[in-house]
Amino acid sequence: MDKDRSIVPEELIIRRIVTLREEKILLDLHLAELYGVETRALKQAVKRNAERFSSDFLFELTDLEIDQVVSQNVIPSKSYLGGAKPFAFTEIGVAMLSSVLRSQKAIDMNILIMRTFVALRKIAINYKELLTKLEEMENTYDNKFSEIYKTLKHLINTKSQRREIGFKKES
């Protein structure tokens, strides 16, 4: 069994969201997988409706960005792309994609993806609030807890950069 198929859809979506050009994005190949369509068909639908997708909705990855997503294990290798440069959809682009792909599965998955983006934004806000409270505590208690504060601040700021640990079953 494919390990990604056994994951709750929200977890699968979160694993697919990456940050490029300071935007949280989903790659076309991952969206196609989530929607249950071929990547080629998804790209064709987008190209037929190009006027709906401005640069803040969708962009094509550069060679450097492709190398970056390969090195981050977002995709296994460049050959996985079949020679085509992937499209990166921002949150707004994913929302617009729902007007292009009209199957019931695409609509249901689109709602789930949008809810996941909102949940991630709420988590980010909570991190910022926590950081503010920690700064207030550090100032209030005359730096008695500076080591704890530094450690917590490091964990908050580097959470997304840390690699998952634990046993990984080979496919």
Q: Specify the CATH number of the domain 3-124.
A: 3.10.260
> Bridge partners of 87?
60
Measured at the CA of 52, the angle between CA 86 and CA 66, to 5 degrees, comes to 15
- Distances in Å between the alpha carbon of 84 and those of 58, 74, 127? 15, 16, 37
Strand 87-90 and strand 23-27: the pairing is: antiparallel
| First CA to last CA distance, the chain | 9
Condensed to tens digits (0 to 9), the pLDDT of residues 1-52 reads 455 544 557 788 888 888 899 888 999 999 998 888 899 999 999 999 999 9
pLDDT at 161 over 60: no
- Determine the Cα–Cα distance for residues 134 and 149; give it in Å rounded to an integer: 7
- Determine the Cα–Cα distance for residues 153 and 135; give it in Å rounded to an integer: 9
Residue 56 pLDDT class (50, 70, 90 cuts): very high
Most confident of 67-81, 125-139, 146-160: 67-81
DSSP 8-state assignment for residue 163:
P
Tell me the three state secondary structure of residue 60. strand
Contact status, residue 7 vs residue 86, Cβ threshold 8 Å? no
At 31, list the tokens.
């969206």
DSSP 8-state assignment for residue 23:
E
pLDDT above 90 as % of the chain: 19
Kindly report the pTM of this predicted structure.
0.64
Condensed to tens digits (0 to 9), the pLDDT of residues 121-142 reads 787 777 777 777 777 776 776 5
Condensed to tens digits (0 to 9), the pLDDT of residues 80-137 reads 777 788 999 998 898 888 788 877 777 788 788 888 888 877 877 777 777 777 777 7
